[in-house]
Structure 1
Amino acid sequence: MLSQADVIAIFEKCGALLQGHFLLTSGKHSDRYLQCAQVLQYPEYTRMICASLVEQLGEEPEIDVVVGPAMGGVIVAYEIGRQLGKRALFTEREEGKMRLRRNFSIRPGERVLVVEDVITTGGSVQEVIDVVKAAGGEVVGVAVLVDRSNGRADFGVPLYKALTVAAVAWEPEVCPLCQAGEPAVKPGSRGLK
């Protein structure tokens, strides 16, 4: 299993740890950003980090399907599904709502591992959990490359993470970087809610 230091070294080698003023998907602002796509472009690093997550799963829970939100969870779902020998699906936003598309389906009673690249508030993961439950699936765990929720993410199931990063995130109206006049950038894959 990779240590936290091993995962940080991979992120640093890939240029995935950014410093500055960032608009997060949650709508909050931060001075640090983890651009997982910079790591996920390398299959060997992706394999290594996902193998560490799979190792954390152990024998339990039993999993039938792996699901992640587009965009950040697509590659993670595929690689963890590949390593487990299970189907890998992804959800997408359609008219602002997370959905299973492309004729993907979860059968009632299927045991689902929800995956994501990074969580801060956990909003996208919760949306995927809601989709799984609406389809009759049972969420048995959540696995993420990076947990930057500062311990606030609680999905009611075990949370497996390759890296935990203590991160500060501010509401825009109290962001000290905004107050200092620093322009914010949005390096992620989708616009603010």
Structure 2
Amino acid sequence: MSSETMLLLPDLARQIAKVATLEGEFVLRSGQVSERYFDKYSFEGLPHILRPLARAMSELLPPETEIIAGLELGGVPLVTAMSLETGLPAAFVRKEPKSYGTCRAIEGQNLTGRKVVFVEDVISTGGAVADALRLATQEGADVRAVVCAIWRGDGAPAIHAAPELPVYPVFTRADLEVQLGDQESQ
């Protein structure tokens, strides 16, 4: 990551933590229950956060990346912003193939034989990524990695059902919680 981006990360983490952190009891996609939730739509809809976040995420892309593929729904605004940032074509991965029109699960690009990186918002265990990997592999994609805004899982970032797939987060849950702690002490 560039030194300019590295300098901006603490401020970006503070902004995301401020607008996206919800306290309460939340059931995550994985089935886990959490008292803290990062509402991705709160920061993905704000251009002053989305633009630098897309830049930081773009800097994590492996150099061989040919297509970036955003997972429905939170990965779509991120991949669109990253496509504008990098000039790479974007694809959009549905949770399942649609039953009309093209009847495809992945829209926007032909992934066959292409080096693809998934783009996701918040990952805890990677269940949605594992589902998308299955769909992309069926379409002949060579999925190289996952870039995400926030890794909220335990331990090192990894997709439980696909541990060989590298996960590159801009922030971890701890990065945002540090910012929340800083805000609470001010």
Q: Common fold, TM-score beyond 0.5? A: yes
Name the residue aligned to 2:183: none
Contact 1:106 1:132 in 2 (8 A): no
- Equivalent residue for 2:172, pick from 147, 160, 164: 164
Amino acid at match of 1:142: V
Shift of 1:152: 5.5
Rate the CA distance shift 1:43–1:128 in 2: closer, same or farther, 3 A. same
Alignment of 1:1-193 (within 5 A): 1-2=5-6, 5-13=10-18, 15-57=19-61, 60-94=62-96, 100-101=105-106, 104-150=108-154, 151=156, 153-154=158-159, 155=162, 156-166=164-174
Q: What is the Cα-based RMSD across aligned positions, in Å?
A: 2.3
Cα distance in 2 for residues equivalent to 1:157 and 1:27: 22
Rate the CA distance shift 1:107–1:4 in 2: closer, same or farther, 3 A. closer
Shift of 1:122: 0.4
Contact 2:68 2:116 in 1 (8 A): yes
Rate the CA distance shift 1:135–1:95 in 2: closer, same or farther, 3 A. closer
Amino acid at match of 2:79: A
TM-score where L is the length of structure 2? 0.77
Query: Once the two structures are aligned, what percentage of the paired residues are identical?
Result: 29
Output one character per residue of 1:72-117: Cα deviation in whole Å (capped at 9) or x when no partner.
1111111112212111121223489xx6255x44332101010100
Contact 1:61 1:140 in 2 (8 A): no
Cα distance in 2 for residues equivalent to 1:6 and 1:158: 26
Contact 1:67 1:88 in 2 (8 A): yes
Count of aligned pairs between the two proteins: 161
Higher relative contact order (CA 8 A, sep 6+): 1
* Higher relative helix content: 2
Cα distance in 1 for residues equivalent to 2:122 and 2:145: 15
Structure 2: segments with no counterpart, 5+ residues: 99-103, 175-186
Contact 2:90 2:109 in 1 (8 A): no
Output one character per residue of 1:112-136: Cα deviation in whole Å (capped at 9) or x when no partner.
0101000011011111122221111
Amino acid at match of 2:75: G
Structure 1: segments with no counterpart, 5+ residues: 167-193
Contact 1:19 1:31 in 2 (8 A): yes
TM-score where L is the length of structure 1? 0.74
